[in-house]
Amino acid sequence: MPLSEPKGFSPVPQNLATNLIIDAHLDLAWNALSWNRDLHLKVAQMRTSEAGIEGKSRGRNTVSFPQMREGRVGVSMVTLLARANPEGRSILDFRNQQSASAAAQGQLAWYRLLEEEGVCHLINDLNALRASTSAWKAGSGDAPLGFILSMEGADPIISPSHAEWWYRAGLRAVGLAHYGPSAYANGTACEGGLFPAGRELLRAMEELGMILDLTHLADEAFWEAAKLFRGPVLASHNNCRAITPHQRQFSDDQIRLLIERDAVIGTALDAWMLVPGWTQGTGNGPRVTLESAVEHIDHICQIAGTSRHCAIGSDLDGGFGTEQGPEDLDTIADLQSLGPLLAARGYSAEDVEGIFHGNWLRFFERAWA
C-alpha cells in the first residue's frame, strides 16, 4: 500500500543495483573474533571453511567484505558487543564488566587494524561521513568501507565516567542493554526500567554528544530513557510489534515517539522478528522473504505519512545465517532486492534512496551538526 500521502510512483532507476546502502547494524568484529571468521573471504569461501562445524549459522553466513562491496553496502554502523553476565553461557557473556570491556576493546583493535590495512575508514564526524558516502555514491567500488562504531549493550563501559574514554576511542552510538539486564538497564526478554547507573550514563552520553540507540530496551526502560535523554536517538535494528507481537519489537506508540524525535528506524532481517509464528532454533513457521521486511517498512511509513524515518539495520550474521533469514536473501548483496519490492508498492525512487541511505545521512547530518 502506498503512503497515506503518496508522492506518486516513479520508476526505479536502472542503476538501482548500484544504489548506496547504509546498514545500521552489523556485528562484524563479533563474527571475526568470536566466530573466528575471515571476513576478507567471499561468503562462499567462508561457508566452505565452516563445513563440518556444528552449530547454528555455521556454513550459512551471509556477510563478508567482498559481498558488502558487491551490494554497495558502503557505510555501516558496526558493533562492539560483549555482555557482563556471570550466569551466561554464550559466547557473548563474560563474568564481569572488566572482562566485557577488554573483549570490546579487542574488537575495537580489530577495526583499527582493518583501517590500517585500508579495508575500512572509521567514521567519527560529519566530514568523514560525507567523504565516505561521496566516494561510494560516485561509484568508487574500491573505496574503503565506512564504519561508524556503535555498542550493543553498554556493559563494556565500566562506569559512566568511562564513557569519555570510549568516545575518544571513536564510539558514537550506544544501546544501554541487549538481551536481559545490563549494568545500566533492562533489555529484551525482561521487564523494568533504567538502573541508577543508567541514568548517570545517559547524562554523560548527552554531554559528550553520543547517540542513544533505543533498540533492545524493555518497554519501561525505553520510555524512561527517551524522557531523560535529550540528545539524538535512533533505533538501529527494530521491527513492528503490530505485525510481529513480541516485546523485542516496537509498539505503534513507541514508533510515534521516535518519529516525533526525528529518529530513523532500521529494519532487521531476523526471521522471528519479521513474521509471527516463526520459532527460533527450529526454522518452523511461515515463509519469510524480503517482502516480509517491506511490510515492516511500510507499517512505519503509514504511521509517519512519509518514508523519512525508515532505513535498513539488517543484523545479518547477528547470531543467525540463511537458516533464520529471508529465503530470497543469500548474502548481504541481496539487500539491493528491496528496491524493486518497494517500487512495486508505489514507493518513488526518492523514497527508495532515502530508505537505502538518505535517511541515515540526514539523521547524522543533524546529530553531528
Output the pLDDT for position 1: 39
pLDDT classification of 14: cutoffs 50, 70, 90: very low
Q: What is the mean pLDDT of the chain?
A: 94
Can you tell me whether residue 20 is helix, strand or coil? coil
How far apart, in whole angstroms, are the C-alpha atoms of residue 100 and residue 92? Answer: 9
How far apart, in whole angstroms, are the C-alpha atoms of residue 171 and residue 19? Answer: 27
Element (H, E) at 77: strand 73-80
**202-237 per-position pLDDT tens digit:** 999 999 999 999 999 999 999 999 999 999 999 999
Q: Within a domain: residue 230?
A: yes
What does the pLDDT average to over 244-253?
97
Instruction: Please determine, for residue 254, whether its predicted confidence score (pLDDT) is greater than 80.
Output: yes
How far apart, in whole angstroms, are the C-alpha atoms of residue 151 and residue 175? Answer: 6
Instruction: Please determine, for residue 312, whether its predicted confidence score (pLDDT) is greater than 90.
Output: yes
The CATH number linked to 148 is 3.20.20.140
Q: Within a domain: residue 357?
A: yes
Quickly list DSSP for 214-240. -TTB-HHHHHHHHHH--S-EEBSS--B
Residue 293's Cβ-count burial label (10 Å; 0-12, 13-18, 19+) is buried
Q: Within a domain: residue 303?
A: yes
The three grid cell numbers given for residue 300, joined into one nine-digit string:
512505519
Output the pLDDT for position 88: 83
How far apart, in whole angstroms, are the C-alpha atoms of residue 220 and residue 212? Answer: 16
Residue 13's Cβ-count burial label (10 Å; 0-12, 13-18, 19+) is middle
Of 342, 311, 125, residue with least CA distance to 236: 311
Structural domains of the chain, count: 1
Q: Within a domain: residue 9?
A: no
Q: Within a domain: residue 2?
A: no
Per the structure, the complete domain to which residue 158 belongs is given by 16-367
Q: Within a domain: residue 11?
A: no
Among 77-91, 138-152, 271-285, whose mean pLDDT is lowest?
Answer: 271-285
Q: Within a domain: residue 199?
A: yes
Q: Within a domain: residue 5?
A: no
